[in-house]
Structures are given as C-alpha cells and as structure tokens.
Structure 1
C-alpha cells in the first residue's frame, strides 16, 4: 500500500482499535459466573499525567474513568492489557526505591502485539506525532516478525510487534515442549 491508500488503511485500523478498546473499557468478566481473564496492569511513573493521557489516547488507548483521578489514569489497550499512569508522588507510595529516569536508564522494554505490519507503522507514527522519539533507527523486519521502537514522553520504551501467524503458533508449542 502506498500514499493515500496506506493512510486510509492506517486510519481504519486506528478507529477499529479505539472502538474495541472503548467497548472493553470495563474491567470485569463478560459472564459473572466465569473467572476473570488473566490481565496485565503495567504501572508507569509519569511526570505530567494529563500529557501522558493525551499521548496514550493518541496511540489508541482508551481512558477508563472509573480508575482515573488526579494522580492516576487507567489506559486500556485491550480487554487484558491496561497501562496505569501514576504521578511520581503516587508511584512512590508503592515502592521504597527511587524512580528510574527512563530517559537515561533502561528499565524495561514494553512489547505490544499488533495485527499487521501496517498497524506497527501506524501506532509508531502516531506516537512520534504525539511527541515520542523513535528509539531505534532500523526496524526489525524478517519474514516472521516486524517491529519498531519508540520512547514515550517519560522515556519508557515501547516496541509494537507484528508476528506472522506461523511464528505465533510456534510460541505456545515451544513453552509446552520446554518441560520435556
């Protein structure tokens, strides 16, 4: 895809992700008799909560107001992936350790799967447009995987990743065979 066609496709993917996130913005099981699905809540310290919320909304996350106040914001990427943005004061209530300066110190790499190569490009391009810095000059591009990296406003490194379905099928098999 090139030019206008690629732009329309990226916009379509972004709208789809936002609609999906908004529908799944409630943190509960669909059926009250079923156990909650396994979820991940990534807690990130942020210097400016409002700017960080706007940044994550720009790349497709939806805010969950039920878990948002003046010091915390819950940003929803999917029904199982949540980013908790915490002011430094609030984050400090959960740890006795000094908060790392992610602009100068590596703390972690946050990999988030995407449904296509185009979606990897779309989220990375949106992140850069919203103030992120592309963290790697060259993307990872093989027949089975494609990724790019960006640093968010607070220096946290994100790596949107597309994995070919054949490679994705091999991952659970590798874990299953690891114990044999």
Structure 2
C-alpha cells in the first residue's frame, strides 16, 4: 500500500474553504466530512483535512497560527506540465485565493508557482521534466 498524507489545516469558514478547494480540483469525501471538518481528496494518496478552529483544538493545544501573517509550512503539489501549474494557480486566484505569494521559480527543467488559500495557507505547485530527474539509487 502506498503511503498517504493527510494535511490538516485550520480554517475560519469551512464552507468557503471547501468551495475553494473544490475550485482548484479537490473532491470532497463526505464519509470523512461533517460540520466541523471536510476531507478534500487531492489525489489517491493526498488529502487536505479542513478543520474548524474548534475541531483543530481537539488535536493540539498549541495556538493556531495566523497564516496571513506567519508561515509554519509550505505545501507543494506536483503537476503534469507547466500549463497545469499555471492552470491550478489561475483557478485558485479565481476562487478567492492569492496568486504567487512566493517567487515564481523557472529553471527550464523545473517550473513552480504558488497560491494562498483564503486562510493564508501557501500551496506551491511545481512541474519538473521527468528526464531531468536523476535515478533514485
């Protein structure tokens, strides 16, 4: 079985956040969603768990970081092409996100852009030419 990742994100408005992630291509899994959380499927192995602040506090007593003012993580998704990178950032921007809060990266063989969701969480989207990836040894 492939490893899976569940990225837990505190959100201030669950309905707005769910709509945002659907706009950038995620699909809601209602089996793991309710009025306090939404499981957004990004791929067969990547899930974003959107949690209300009250739900988040059930997992940790640490304060919730204001992601508009502070960064705790930078999340990165791969894309199939340069156009897919730009397409996802454009969708995020059209859905109320902020395009390119981090510098655009263009190295020819690798291209990356980013977006902020409505709560300020930064997602990078990158494409790399598969022929430029060294063999894994």
TM-score (norm 2): 0.95
Alignment partner, residue 70 of structure 1: 35
1:137: Cα distance to partner? 6.9
Number of corresponding residues: 137
> Which of the pair is proportionally richer in helix?
1
1:166: Cα distance to partner? 2.0
1:143: Cα distance to partner? 1.7
Query: Which ranges of 4 or more aligned residues in structure 1 deviate by more than 4 Å?
Result: none
Higher relative contact order (CA 8 A, sep 6+): 2
Cα contact 1:135–1:157 (8 A) shared by 2: no
3-state SS of the aligned residue for 1:83?
strand
Q: Which structure has the larger Rg?
A: 1
Alignment partner, residue 16 of structure 2: 51
In structure 2, how many angstroms separate the alpha carbons of the residues matched to 1:39 and 1:85? 16
Alignment partner, residue 148 of structure 1: 113
1:144: Cα distance to partner? 1.4
Cα contact 2:101–2:122 (8 A) shared by 1: no
After TM superposition, the structure 1 stretch with the greater mean CA deviation from structure 2, 52-61 or 127-136, is: 127-136
1:95 aligns with 2:65: no
Alignment partner, residue 123 of structure 1: 88
Residues 1:163 and 1:88: Cα distance change in structure 2 (over 3 Å): same
1:135: Cα distance to partner? 3.3
Cα contact 1:71–1:90 (8 A) shared by 2: yes
Alignment partner, residue 132 of structure 2: 167
TM-score (norm 1): 0.73
Alpha-carbon RMSD: 1.3
> Which of the pair is proportionally richer in strand?
2
- Structure 2, unpaired ranges of 5+: none
3-state SS of the aligned residue for 1:128?
helix
3-state SS of the aligned residue for 1:120?
helix
